[in-house]
Structure 1
Amino acid sequence: MIKYPILEGNFTIGVTAPSSGLTETMYGYIHDIKKRFSNHEINIAPTTLMQHKAKSTEADVRASELNAFFKDHTTNIIIPPFGGELALEIINKIDYRQLRTKWLLGYSDISTILLAITLKTGIATAHGPNLVDLRGVYSDSTTDMWTKVLKTKTDGEVIQCSSEKYQSKWDHNNPTECVFNLDSPTEWKVVNEDEVQIEGRLLGGCTDVIHHLIGTPFGDVNKFRETFINNDAVIWYLENCEANSTEFRRTLLQMQLAGWFDNCSGLLFGRTRVVDDVEGYTIDDVYKDLAEELKMPVIYDIDCGHMPPQMTFINDAYAIVECKNGNGKLTQRFI
């Protein structure tokens, strides 16, 4: 059975760094975050302010903090500061049998943990902004939907629409009042189609990291289908952070050969910062090859991932995804 957490009232936020923490130059973010969430209690665990050799600290400590927040009945949602590189180190140290049904929100390297928890337990997890993305005076309308999405009750429905503009390049030294510099028109695109509508259960994350779950006990998509979603069709939402076109292609082929795209109704891809080709082979060519091979809709440049803003996608939710004339609509039902 799928388990959907819910936020209510003045929720309490647990902050821990299961991947990377804040360096000293970023400690000012904590002041901004506390100011932004002044109506909420925020419990900041020690790893949040730690960073050494590509991770906040050792894996046992990171896993222990995450487990503690999941077991703590006073914490309503867990939001890491941001992603990083080595979340995979704690995957086998999470106490999956003892996790309370509460939200874990994040993206990038955090999506490794999100997907593993959902596949192992059937607890819905939230792919959306990390905590540092929420430190502004306000959030843009797309990012700001995270609270409405996470307050949706079981059997409820929530709708998000594509953004008007996205950020084409990070400028960390010049954040706006909503953190991001939204400078380019958003356009959702469909391979070989003008418009499309697809339905299915959402699963996904950053392909750079989640494909490492393949072949492990924490990436058993077939068992998840049988155990929790009665073999419903799946919609994969994916985003590529750093891989060039051929690396990206190999990663997606690995997912395909592992059966992750079996009984799949469509693929969604977030905007990517990768623009260079490999001997003429581009990221757009990857999308076209997938659509041709899998005979299913492929929508790309959606609001997901490292080129904000991004929608909040719920692993487990039943989704209806519509794309027409460059505009996107995501309906999620918590059923």
Structure 2
Amino acid sequence: MIKYPLLTKGATIGVTAPSSGVPIELHDILKLAIKRMENKGHTVLCGDTVWTQNKAKSAPAKQRAEEFNKMMEDENVSILIPPWGGELLIEMLEYVNYETMKEKWILGYSDTSALLLAITLKTGLATANGTNLVDLRGEYSDPTTAKWQAVLSTHVGEKVIQTSSEKYQKEWQHTNPSSCIFHLTEQTYWRTASTKSVIVEGRLLGGCIDIIRHLIGTPYGDVRTFSKERLNQGPILWYFENCELSTTDLRRTLVQMKLAGWFENCSGVMFGRSNANQTVENYTIEDVYKELSNELQIPVIYDIDCGHLPPQITFVNGAYAEVIIEDGKGTVTQYFN
């Protein structure tokens, strides 16, 4: 059984940095994001880790975990949104109090996805892979990004529908500020590795594949037990985003996941857009997708709205989803049951 938190109007947002904090020269962008949330009626509670960054992390692992645990156990905090991802979140996973955390949303992506997936697998608590806090500092959000609030406000027993974006951002332009943060210039087109149209459904699990692959073989990546105890061996629909892996490294990772049993009961796999998908010795990313589809005999969907080429659909780990792809457009319906 999956446990779904509920985001309510005016909810208190806890901001902690389980991976990277914000260096002093960028404090202004975090303060602006906080102000935007407060203008929308939220109270924002910031931890100490948010304002510091040294040696590729906000603070030592135990300190990060202690602050995270405190916010997860604080009944006044309804949702946790880290400022962004980073590099070394995995260091603090062993210090998280999984048994005592309250039911509340955690929203983020990139390095944060290791924490999100670990919590869902170990506790059955739904977690949300989507925007981070600093990307909510704009005067407004594009329709895809803005949907995070509607998704996290969905009641148990209800469903929420999201559609593919119209355009996406090809590259970051930090020296050219935009009123919605992103520069959405490229036409979005969701693709499939086999047939032109696809309908697939299953329980969503996923995140940044560079990061969550390191959970394989640990107590925080026990997909088999989660599938047996929480899903009754029901279908799993994976979503991944590749930040930095070459096509050959991605292939190695997918084979490792298969050998570790992560693709047992898998109904489909989705991949976000990525600038990392560079060809290696004539081995293309399309080859990777087609091989996976053929080996597992499942649909593979790619170039979806997920990852470091925004905007992002909010995918809820643990939610039951139906995904429809037709003519390059995608519809994602998530059921909170």
Query: With structure 2 as the length reference, what TM-score do the two structures score?
Result: 0.98
Secondary structure in structure 2 of the residue aligned to 1:142: helix
Letter aligned with residue 11 of structure 1: A
Matched, 1:270 2:272: yes
Matched, 1:287 2:284: no
Q: What is the count of residue pairs matched by the alignment? A: 335
Between the aligned partners of 1:205 and 1:244, the Cα distance in structure 2 is 17
Per the TM alignment, residue 273 of structure 1 is displaced from its structure 2 partner at its CA by 1.1
Between the aligned partners of 1:263 and 1:80, the Cα distance in structure 2 is 32
Matched, 1:14 2:21: no
Between the aligned partners of 2:277 and 2:219, the Cα distance in structure 1 is 34
Structure 2: gaps of 5 or more residues: none
Structure 1 residues 209-228: aligned runs within 5 Å: 209-228=211-230
Letter aligned with residue 171 of structure 1: Q
Kept in 1, the 8 Å contact 2:199–2:323? The answer is yes
Structure 1 residues 123-272: aligned runs within 5 Å: 123-272=125-274
Aligned to 2:98: 96
Between the aligned partners of 2:81 and 2:101, the Cα distance in structure 1 is 15
Between the aligned partners of 1:63 and 1:198, the Cα distance in structure 2 is 37
Aligned to 1:77: 79
Aligned to 1:31: 31
Between the aligned partners of 2:303 and 2:67, the Cα distance in structure 1 is 35
Structure 1: gaps of 5 or more residues: none
Secondary structure in structure 2 of the residue aligned to 1:97: coil
Q: Which runs of 4+ in 1 moved over 3 A?
A: none
Kept in 1, the 8 Å contact 2:30–2:83? The answer is no
Between the aligned partners of 1:285 and 1:274, the Cα distance in structure 2 is 15
Per the TM alignment, residue 31 of structure 1 is displaced from its structure 2 partner at its CA by 2.5
Pick from 68, 71, 77 the counterpart of residue 70 of structure 2. Answer: 68
**Residues 234-269 of structure 1, C-alpha deviations (whole Å, 9 max, x = no match):** 000001000111011111111111000111100000
Secondary structure in structure 1 of the residue aligned to 2:54: coil
Kept in 1, the 8 Å contact 2:12–2:76? The answer is yes
Aligned to 1:105: 107
Letter aligned with residue 214 of structure 2: H
* Percent identity of equivalent pairs: 54
Query: With structure 1 as the length reference, what TM-score do the two structures score?
Result: 0.99
Letter aligned with residue 26 of structure 1: L
Per the TM alignment, residue 172 of structure 1 is displaced from its structure 2 partner at its CA by 1.8
Between the aligned partners of 2:112 and 2:164, the Cα distance in structure 1 is 23
Between the aligned partners of 1:201 and 1:319, the Cα distance in structure 2 is 6
Aligned to 1:121: 123
Between the aligned partners of 1:3 and 1:172, the Cα distance in structure 2 is 38
Deviates more, 1:30-39 or 1:292-301: 30-39
Secondary structure in structure 2 of the residue aligned to 1:75: coil
Per the TM alignment, residue 320 of structure 1 is displaced from its structure 2 partner at its CA by 0.2
Per the TM alignment, residue 30 of structure 1 is displaced from its structure 2 partner at its CA by 2.5
Per the TM alignment, residue 32 of structure 1 is displaced from its structure 2 partner at its CA by 1.1
Per the TM alignment, residue 233 of structure 1 is displaced from its structure 2 partner at its CA by 0.4
